Amino acid sequence: MARDLVDEGTPLQLNDVARRAGLGVGTIYRHFPTAEALLEAVATPCLEALAAHGEKALADDNPGRGLADFLTRTIEAQVTDASLATVTASATDALPRTTELKRTLWPVGGRLLDRARDAGVVRPDLTSDDLVPLMCGVAYAANVHSVSTARIESARRYLTALLEGVCVPAHDGAGKDPGPETRAGQTP
Tell me the pTM: 0.76
Domain borders along the chain are: 1-31, 43-183
Identify the CATH class of 43-183. Answer: mainly alpha
> Which residue spans within 6-163 are E strands per DSSP?
none
Question: What are the angstrom distances between the C-alpha of 27 and each of 22, 31, 35, 63?
Answer: 10, 7, 13, 47
Quick one: the chain helix, strand, coil %, rounded to 5? 75, 0, 25
pLDDT at 62: 96
**Regions of the chain with pLDDT less than 70:** 1-12, 18, 169-188
Question: What pLDDT digit, counting tens, does each position of 114-154 carry?
Answer: 999 999 999 999 898 888 888 888 988 988 887 777 888 98
Give the CA count within 13 Å in the CB-facing half-sphere of 96.
Answer: 0
Taking the C-alpha atoms of residue 24 and residue 186, their distance in angstroms, rounded to an integer, is 52
